[in-house]
Structure 1
């Protein structure tokens, strides 16, 4: 039998690792580390650092593999993502078969948490042969963002909504919520909104040594975030950010 452990490792700080995550890493026969190209080499290095810090089981092997990139030119977004998931699943299957075979425990260290805007579970269910899947939850970027700003996410008795930059840009402010969390924003979708009465709490590289956080009235701080984001992308070659928007009563 093959068991696949999807282990949430937080947003970049190795100290965010839970005791359950450390146990799961050491219980694995094989830890797979995906490489996402030179521009995101920081993420592979983070996984290597975690293994170096917490892996005490001498029998656990570590193997790296190249993760295929999604074709951003596909006009049908969902079709493009679906095809990409198939390709990634095939790559996972090949790496597991090469380094472990079809029996044992394999672990993938998931940046953030496998439950929130992460494709790992969808991809895992496409593996051939289908393994037993277990999830070790980790700290999400939303938790890290709120902590960085010392901000309670929801107002008293009020809901909040989590969405993507793409949906915010295409659909505008969502109905029924005065607090919106925006993730997977490839640009700066908040620029598509009327900034009047909006506050923003923004963070990039959360939990990492290069963490950047900014907050304030969107009309005032928005242009500064756009500039800081562009500078950070040019410096690192990649950026991962998220933000919270609140509409003032």
Structure 2
């Protein structure tokens, strides 16, 4: 934070979750909890609750471009996080905008919702591979997204290296392969192809995990904006999201969200 009190600025480019657990809403809550100023470019509006996605409406490319330029040209950013981009046209537009921004980029290649609802058109996959991932500082796919993008299917911890190699081949500087769908402890692999960082956390017996991926990617972006290295940012984000999962709460009749404000009372989330 500067002498004038302006916090680091982080921009999320993603879809809106009307239920408040994921998407833009989760991103902004995470950024607030971690002490950065969150800003948004909304790419799509969803009708969404604890039971799934009932509808999704993509915004025009012109609206996405205008939001991005409005924020970046006036306010500036220290990091950008991308989430739901829906179509090839949106993916390519956002990739083009990111290329000239000069800030770290965290790409969460959102393919499906927590409930299995598709959030990325099949026709957009090649644009994610060839346009978006090459501009990423960190890409954060889960195992389903790795399979969707590369065809590599992971069934054991050892295979996380194969997944990382497949994702890095598309051009991001770092790949964070999230192994949360594997049995046992929650293990993720962060690598740039040369060094490896294995991140482990206990698995909490809590089904209310809506928004986990959005929250983790936003937490990484927040830490990068504050000047952390990629390994430092990912480790801090992993600690934050582990606490948020443990504190996840029931909401509606289905899967509730993680608790983005779980540590605010203790005042330690900004660390």
TM-score with structure 2 setting the length: 0.30
TM-score with structure 1 setting the length: 0.32
